[in-house]
Amino acid sequence: MFKKFTDTVTLANGVKMPCVGYGTWQTPDGEVARKCVSEAIKLGYRHIDTAAAYGNEVSVGEGIRDAGIAREELFITTKHWITNRGYEKTILACEESLRNLGLDYLDLYLIHWPAVKKIADNWEEINAETWRGFEKLYKDGKIRAIGVSNFLPSHLESLKARSTVKPMVNQIEFHPGYIQSGLVDYCRAEGITLQAWSPLGSGAVLKDEFLGTIAAKYSRSIAQLCIRYALQNDIVPLPKSLNADRIAANMDVFDFAISADDMAAIAAMEQIGYSGFYPEEAPADALV
Ligand code: A2P
């Protein structure tokens, strides 16, 4: 169980990842991304999550440098985009992300979305070839850990049968109202560390009356309840905010504990705040 903001989770290959990350999906490129990332690091975040498809890698990199913290103290993740599937393109895509970020290695590189049957009959080979590129980058020391995002058990099983290194991380949508229990259980059993994207349901769960009642019991905001809820499930949340006070408030989740009854009540909630981005269904070009 995580006890403080600086705690880490140890990935299957021994790499330590800070237990809360700062998310940058939909963070506008330019000054906004630069300032927010720098602010988050100055406030104490050491784990920053971005993606090629977010279009803000350059500004995120600037924010990282502005903060003035030693590279080895930071944990930086970016994601490979769907237009770069395949071995060769994957290597080039990673090099481009490194250039954009101004870094010479990544702590974590993720396949952003799986290729699926709806897109290509040979989806299994496509994912395996992309992953072969990931394994090469990992073995060459350009990436300290490799993983996937939005992979369902079927995609992970397929990859397992066609590769030698198992993904260390799966980053999935996870928040009260959308907890993907089957997928979470599968990843736990496989030793794959989970990260939560949209741990606040992209803001969509923050006005929920039921969650408001539970948060009030602990004198916390719903956002803090959601972040704590992910942590108590051993899932690394990646909350994002463009507001310094809220960036700080989202760190302040280590002096209360959600009771077992309340954890169960949240788990049993009806679905709310779901993004609609289901790997097998959503059109690929809508997925970021
Ligand atoms: P803002 O940037 O104005 O703070 P998620 O991390 O699930 O994608 O959710 C991000 C959304 O939640 C953003 O709209 C963000 O708005 C909002 N948000 C983030 N932290 C908080 C907070 N502590 N209280 C209220 N809203 C928050």
Per-residue pLDDT of the chain (288 residues; tens, 9 = 90+): 899 999 999 999 999 999 999 999 999 999 999 999 999 999 999 999 999 999 999 999 999 999 999 999 999 999 999 999 999 999 999 999 999 999 999 999 999 999 999 888 999 999 999 999 999 999 999 999 999 999 999 999 999 999 999 999 999 999 999 999 999 999 999 999 999 999 999 999 999 999 999 999 999 999 999 999 999 999 999 999 999 999 999 999 999 999 999 999 999 999 999 999 988 875 555 544
Residues with CB under 6 A from ligand 1: 23, 198-203, 206, 221, 223, 239-243, 246, 249-250
272: closest CA among 226, 237, 238? 226
Cβ within 8 Å of residue 282, ≥6 positions away: 276
Residues 71 and 227: their CA atoms lie apart, in Å, by 26
If you measure from the C-alpha of residue 200 to the centroid of ligand 1, how many angstroms do you get, rounded to a whole number? Answer: 7
Residues 26 and 202: their CA atoms lie apart, in Å, by 10
Are 87 and 123 contacting, i.e. CB atoms less than 8 angstroms apart?
no
| Residue 259, φ and ψ in degrees, nearest 5 | -70, 160
If you measure from the C-alpha of residue 77 to the centroid of ligand 1, how many angstroms do you get, rounded to a whole number? Answer: 20
| Residue 207, φ and ψ in degrees, nearest 5 | -115, 10
pTM of the predicted protein model: 0.97
**218 belongs to the catalytic site:** no
